[in-house]
Chains A and B, each alone.
Chain A
Amino acid sequence: MDVRFALRFSLALALIAATIASVRAQNVQSDTQNAEAARVIAHGKDIFKTKATCQFCHKWDASGDQGYGGNALSLRATRLTPAQVAETVKCGRPGTGMPYHDQFAYTDKRCYGVTREQLGKDMPPEPNAFLNSDEIDAVVKYLFATDVGRGPSTYEDCVAFWGTETRQCEPMKQ
C-alpha cells in the first residue's frame, strides 16, 4: 500500500470518526435539552391539572368555561404573549375571577404598581395554590406547547391529558 494513500485513508477515517462523534455529541446534547423541555411541560401540566387546578375554571383543554369557575376565558384563543400569560398567572386580573398566584403579589407594587389596599374589592381571588417563578414558567410553557393557538381539542388531546385509565375521553371518541 502506498504510504501517502494509507496516510490519506487513515486521515479520512479519522475525519469520518470525528464527524460521527460530534454528531453523536450534538444528539446527546439536544436529547438532554428535549428531555428538560419535556420535563418542564409535564411539570406545567401537573400544575394546570392539579396543583393550581387552572382546569377547574378554564376546563381541561383550556377552552374556557362558565359557572362556578367564573366566566373564564379561552386560553386556546388567547392573544397574549407568553410573558403576558405569565404576568396574568402571577398577578391575576383585578376586578375579575382570575386569581393571582405569586404569594407576594400586592404586598408591594410588583403587580401593576398597586397593593391589596389600593385594589380594595377589585383584589383578585386567592389561588388554589401559590406558584413560584419556575412553576409559572412551567405552566406557561405547558399552555403554549399544548393549547394556545390550537383549534377545538380532539380525542387524542383528551387522552394525552387524562390518560386511558378513565372513561373521561369516551364521549369524544368518534
Chain B
Amino acid sequence: MRKLSPAMALMTPLLMAGALTPVRAADMTFERALNAISKEPQNWLLYYGNYQGYRFSPLGEINTDNVKNLKPVFAVALGGLQSGGRYAFGNLEGTPIVEDGMMYVTDGWGSVYAIDVSSGTKGDIKWKFDPGIDRAWAGDVACCGVNNRGVALWKDRVISIALDGRMFAVNKATGEKVWERKIADPALGETITMAPLVVRDLAIVGPAGGEFGIRGFIDATDLNTGQQAWRTYTIPGTGEPGNDTWKDGADRWKHGGGSVWETATYDPQTDTIYQGIGNAGADWDPQYRPGDNKWAASVLALNPADGKIKWGFQYTPNDPFDFDEISEHPIIDAKVNGKERKLVVHAARNGFFYALDRTNGAFVGGKQYVDKLNWTTGLDPETGLPANYDPKSGVQVYSPGTHGMRGEPLATVCPSHFGAKNWEPTAYNPTLNTLYIPSIEGCDGIETVAQKDFVDQGGTVKPRDRFSGGAFKMTGRLYGSLKAIDPTTGDVKAAVRLDFPNYAGALATAGNLVFLGQADGIFAAYDAKTLNKVWSFSVGTGINAPAISYSVNGKQYIAVLAGSRQSPFVMQSDPSVKYSSTTSMLFVFGL
C-alpha cells in the first residue's frame, strides 16, 4: 500500500478513537502472518516484517523528499541494564513488534514491555513481564553480551525467550505468564538470544553457545501445549547423514558447535524454513576437528512440521575462522540469466554473497561483497565452495597464513573473524530489487591454542568452560559499510563507508529510504538508490538494533532501540567512543 485511500483515511481516525481505550487486539493467526506486509502495512507483525526476511515496510509517507523533516516524537526508557555473569550490563538488540498501536519490545535480560504507542505523542507501558533470570548463571555463559532480539505473536499471546534458555507464553492483554518451557540449558553452556519464529502453532528457536562446546539444535515448541514438538540437531549424530564429516575419530561432533541465534526465514510456497547455522567448535582450532564439520557454518532447509532436513549447504567447510552463518536468509523469486529462479540468498559472514536454489540447495551464484577478503581466492562457480577448498584434506588451509594453526604465529584474516556481516540483518526493497548489507570491514588476527578435550571425552574442559581453541586479536582498524547489491548478480550498485563496524542492521521502506544506526549513536536515513545520507539524528548512545516502521492513524513512524557501549576491541578500532555510556531507550520518529 502506498497511500491511504480516501475512505480508509476517513475510517482510520474513527478506528483509532476506539483504540485509545485499548480494545483487545485481534488474535495473531498464520493467515495474518502470511499476509503481514500486504494486508497490514500499518503493523510490524513479524521479526523481519515478513516471513521472507525483508525488513521492508510498504509505508511511504516518509520519503526521500520529506525525510529532512523527520524528528523524534517520543522516547521511552526501558530497563535491563543490570550486570550479570561476565557482563556489566544488558544490551539492546531487539526488533519491536507492532500490532494495532501496541508495541512489544524486549530488553537484554528478556523483560517484555507492552507499550501503547497509539497516541503518537507518548509511549505508555501497559505491562512489563520480567522472566526473573538468574543473571550470574546465564550471563557467565553468554559469549558476547546479554542479548534478546525480540518476541513473536501467536493467538492472544506474546511468545518470548530468556537468556537462561526458557520460552514463555504471555497473555497479550495483561502480561501474565501462561506457561514456560525450558529449552536450552546454561549448565551445558546453552543460552537463547534469538526471537522465536512462529509457523502455524509451532515456535522455533535454537541455542547460542558455539564458544562453550555445545551441540547445536533447532527446536520447535507446540504453542498449544507448551511442550516440545521436535528437535533437530545441527551437528548430525552417529549414523545420521553428515556425521562422517567429523573425521577426528574421537566423537568430537558431540561438542561440535553449530549454534543457532538468529531467526529463520520461512517460505510458504515450499513450506520450508531456512535456518542459518553457527561456527564449528572449537572455533579456532580446525586441527581439533578434521573434516568438513557439517552442518556448522551452513544453512539448513527444514520442514517446519517435523524438523526433517530437506537439504543443507555449507559455506565454509572445516571453518577455522568462527564464520557463523546464523544470520538471515531472505527468500526472493527472480530472473537469473533469463530464467525464473526460486532463490534463498545470504550475505555471509565469510564475505561472500550467495544465491541458492531454495528448492534443492543448488548453488546459483556468489560474489564477494566485502571490501577486503584474503582467506580464499574466490568461489567455485559450480559448487559455490571456496575456490581453494581441498576435498582430500581433513584440515582446510585455504589461503595459507589466513587462519590460526597450532604452533604457528598469528594469522591475519580479512574480513575479520567478526565477519563481513555478523548477526545484524540486511534489508531488501522488492520494488527496487536491492538488498542492503550493513557490514564490518577490515581484518584481524587469529591465535590458535590447541583445544583440550571435554571431561566426558577424557579431558579437563568442564561444561560452561570456554571452548574456542584460541582467540582473536585486533591487528588494525575495523570500519563499516552499507552496500546496496543486486541479489540476482551480487553486483554492488551503491556503497557508503561508515566510521564504525555495523552491529545494528537495516530497515528499508517504500519511501525509498534505508535506515541504519551506528555505534556512535547516529541514526541515519540513506537514499535507497544512491545511498546518499539524507537525514540523521544522534540518540547519544550506541545503536546495536535494527529499526522498524509502523503507522497509527495513518501517520508513519520509525522506531529503534538505542543503548550500547562497545567491546574493548571495537573501541580499540575507534577510540572516539571510549567515553560512551550505554542506556536503554526506545526512540520513535515521525514527521
Q: A68-B211, A121-B476, A125-B569 are in contact. Are A171 and B187 (CB under 8 A)?
A: yes
Q: Are B569 and A56 in contact (CB under 8 A)?
A: no
Q: A67-B466, A97-B473 are in contact. Are A123 and B83 (CB under 8 A)?
A: no
Q: A67-B143, A68-B143 are in contact. Are A126 and B468 (CB under 8 A)?
A: no
- Nearest chain B CB to A173 CB, angstrom units: 13
User: Which residue in B88, B466, B474 is a CB contact (below 8 Å) of A65?
Assistant: B466
Contacts of A129 in B (CB 8 A): 88
Contacts of B241 in A (CB 8 A): none
9 smallest CB-CB distances across A and B, nearest first, come from A67-B468, A126-B571, A125-B568, A166-B136, A125-B572, A67-B466, A71-B471, A56-B86, A126-B578
Q: Which residue of A lies closest to B447 (CB)?
A: A71
Which residues of A does B touch, CB under 8 Å?
49-51, 53, 55-56, 60, 65-72, 96-97, 99, 121, 123-129, 162-163, 166-168, 171
Contacts of A66 in B (CB 8 A): 449, 466, 468-471
Extra A-B contacts (20), CB below 8 Å, given A53-B88, A67-B468: A60-B86, A60-B140, A65-B466, A66-B449, A66-B470, A68-B143, A68-B466, A68-B472, A70-B471, A70-B472, A71-B447, A97-B471, A97-B568, A125-B474, A125-B571, A126-B575, A126-B578, A166-B136, A168-B140, A171-B463
Complex CA distance for A106 and B93, rounded to whole angstroms: 33
**Overall SS of chain B's interface:** loop
Complex CA distance for A60 and B140, rounded to whole angstroms: 9
Complex CA distance for A126 and B568, rounded to whole angstroms: 5
Q: A125-B568, A125-B572, A166-B134 are in contact. Are A70 and B473 (CB under 8 A)?
A: yes
1/0 per residue, CB under 8 A from A, across B191-226: the answer is 000000000000000000001000000000000000
Q: Are B88 and A51 in contact (CB under 8 A)?
A: yes
Q: For chain B residues 453-483, which have a beta carbon within 8 Å of chain A?
A: 462-464, 466-476
Q: Which residue of A lies closest to B566 (CB)?
A: A126
6 contacts between A and B (CB under 8 A): A50-B83, A53-B86, A68-B466, A97-B471, A99-B568, A167-B137
Q: For chain B residues 539-591, which have a beta carbon within 8 Å of chain A?
A: 568-569, 571-572, 575, 578
In the complex, B527 has a CB within 8 A of chain A: no
User: Which residue in B187, B471, B476 is a CB contact (below 8 Å) of A67?
Assistant: B471
**Overall SS of chain A's interface:** loop
Number of A-B contacts (CB under 8 A): 85
Q: Are A171 and B83 in contact (CB under 8 A)?
A: no
In the complex, B144 has a CB within 8 A of chain A: yes
Contacts of A72 in B (CB 8 A): 471
Q: A69-B471, A126-B571, A166-B136 are in contact. Are A50 and B88 (CB under 8 A)?
A: yes
Q: Which residue of B lies closest to A166 (CB)?
A: B136
Q: A50-B83, A68-B143, A171-B187 are in contact. Are A128 and B136 (CB under 8 A)?
A: no
In the complex, B87 has a CB within 8 A of chain A: yes
Contacts of A71 in B (CB 8 A): 447, 449, 470-471
Contacts of B474 in A (CB 8 A): 97, 121, 125
B83, B463, B464 — most chain A CB neighbours (10 Å): B83
1/0 per residue, CB under 8 A from A, across B135-158: the answer is 111001001100000000000000
- Nearest chain B CB to A89 CB, angstrom units: 13
Complex CA distance for A144 and B196, rounded to whole angstroms: 46
Q: Are B568 and A55 in contact (CB under 8 A)?
A: no
In the complex, B283 has a CB within 8 A of chain A: yes
- Nearest chain A CB to B11 CB, angstrom units: 52
Q: A66-B471, A67-B211, A125-B572 are in contact. Are A167 and B134 (CB under 8 A)?
A: yes
Q: Which residue of A lies closest to B285 (CB)?
A: A66
- Nearest chain A CB to B64 CB, angstrom units: 37
Contacts of B134 in A (CB 8 A): 166-168
Contacts of A168 in B (CB 8 A): 85, 134, 136-137, 140
Q: Which residue of A lies closest to B137 (CB)?
A: A167
Complex CA distance for A146 and B415, rounded to whole angstroms: 41
Contacts of A163 in B (CB 8 A): 136
Complex CA distance for A129 and B468, rounded to whole angstroms: 26
Complex CA distance for A5 and B83, rounded to whole angstroms: 70
Contacts of A128 in B (CB 8 A): 88, 568
Contacts of A49 in B (CB 8 A): 83
Contacts of B467 in A (CB 8 A): 67
Q: For chain B residues 60-90, which have a beta carbon within 8 Å of chain A?
A: 83, 85-88
- Nearest chain A CB to B459 CB, angstrom units: 14
Complex CA distance for A96 and B569, rounded to whole angstroms: 11
Q: For chain B residues 474-494, which have a beta carbon within 8 Å of chain A?
A: 474-476
Complex CA distance for A144 and B187, rounded to whole angstroms: 30
Contacts of B568 in A (CB 8 A): 97, 99, 125-128
- Nearest chain A CB to B442 CB, angstrom units: 11
Complex CA distance for A67 and B567, rounded to whole angstroms: 14
- Nearest chain B CB to A138 CB, angstrom units: 17
- Nearest chain B CB to A162 CB, angstrom units: 5
Complex CA distance for A50 and B85, rounded to whole angstroms: 9
- Nearest chain A CB to B343 CB, angstrom units: 34
Q: Are B137 and A126 in contact (CB under 8 A)?
A: no
- Nearest chain B CB to A53 CB, angstrom units: 5
Complex CA distance for A153 and B472, rounded to whole angstroms: 26
Contacts of A97 in B (CB 8 A): 471, 473-474, 568-569
Q: For chain B residues 319-366, which have a beta carbon within 8 Å of chain A?
A: none
B462, B470, B572 — most chain A CB neighbours (10 Å): B572
Complex CA distance for A67 and B466, rounded to whole angstroms: 7
- Nearest chain A CB to B298 CB, angstrom units: 22
Contacts of B144 in A (CB 8 A): 68
Contacts of A53 in B (CB 8 A): 86-88
Complex CA distance for A127 and B468, rounded to whole angstroms: 23
Q: For chain B residues 16-63, which have a beta carbon within 8 Å of chain A?
A: none
Complex CA distance for A163 and B572, rounded to whole angstroms: 33
1/0 per residue, CB under 8 A from A, across B426-464: the answer is 000000000000000000000101000000000000111
Complex CA distance for A56 and B569, rounded to whole angstroms: 13
- Nearest chain B CB to A88 CB, angstrom units: 15
User: Which residue in B462, B569, B572 is a CB contact (below 8 Å) of A171?
Assistant: B462
Complex CA distance for A163 and B137, rounded to whole angstroms: 11
Q: Which residue of B lies closest to A96 (CB)?
A: B473
Q: Which residue of B lies closest to A172 (CB)?
A: B462
Q: For chain B residues 103-151, which have a beta carbon within 8 Å of chain A?
A: 134-137, 140, 143-144
Complex CA distance for A124 and B578, rounded to whole angstroms: 13
Complex CA distance for A15 and B119, rounded to whole angstroms: 83
Complex CA distance for A60 and B466, rounded to whole angstroms: 12
Contacts of B88 in A (CB 8 A): 50-51, 53, 128-129
Contacts of A166 in B (CB 8 A): 134-137
Contacts of B449 in A (CB 8 A): 66, 71
- Nearest chain B CB to A126 CB, angstrom units: 4
Complex CA distance for A29 and B135, rounded to whole angstroms: 39
Complex CA distance for A71 and B404, rounded to whole angstroms: 13
- Nearest chain B CB to A160 CB, angstrom units: 13
Contacts of A125 in B (CB 8 A): 474, 568-569, 571-572
